[in-house]
């Protein structure tokens, strides 16, 4: 389930995110919750926790994370979308529950023969302030859900 469905054109306020809170059936939510079982999504939580303890992760990964306040990583996150990347691995779009002021895109890639998961990219997604505001309204139920977040 892709949550960050964007409209083909911006509306009068300059946002591609639909206005208003989204309503999901229980079946849709159950399908969505499966995203948290993906090893690459789980890897992000493991990496963030290790980064906070100054352990784990490779130098390249730490360099991607050091640019951002540790307050982001102390917070749980929700997945807005997860899709296969053309160059391998997955692009995972997330927002942190405790700091929902930015949406981040993470590229998690299985490295080498052993397919060890590695964070190759971690940067803000291309979302305007209006988009972020609407995401916080549209997905309020998910952003406030402490049980199914990572």
Q: If we measure between CA atoms, which residue out of 68, 15, 79 comes closest to residue 43?
A: 79
Give domain limits for the chain: 26-143
Whole-model pTM: value is: 0.89
* pLDDT digit string, tens, across residues 81-140: 999 999 999 999 999 999 999 999 999 999 888 899 999 999 999 999 999 999 999 999
* pLDDT digit string, tens, across residues 22-56: 999 999 999 999 999 999 999 999 999 999 999 87
Q: If we measure between CA atoms, which residue out of 65, 64, 125, 114 comes closest to residue 91?
A: 125
Q: If we measure between CA atoms, which residue out of 56, 91, 90 comes closest to residue 73?
A: 56
């Amino acid at each position: 389930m892709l949550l960050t469905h964007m409209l083909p054109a911006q509306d009068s306020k300059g946002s591609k995110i639909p206005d208003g809170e989204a309503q999901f059936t229980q079946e849709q939510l159950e399908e969505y919750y499966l995203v948290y079982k993906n090893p690459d999504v789980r890897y992000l939580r493991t990496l963030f926790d290790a980064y906070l303890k100054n352990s784990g992760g490779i130098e390249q990964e730490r360099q991607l994370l050091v640019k951002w306040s540790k307050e982001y990583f102390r917070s749980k996150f929700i997945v807005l979308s997860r899709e296969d990347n053309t160059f391998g691995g997955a692009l995972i779009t997330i927002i942190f529950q405790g700091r929902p002021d930015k949406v981040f895109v993470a590229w998690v890639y299985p490295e080498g023969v052993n397919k060890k998961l590695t964070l190759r990219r971690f940067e803000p997604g291309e979302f305007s302030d209006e988009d972020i505001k609407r995401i916080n309204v549209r997905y309020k139920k998910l952003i406030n859900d402490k049980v199914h977040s990572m």
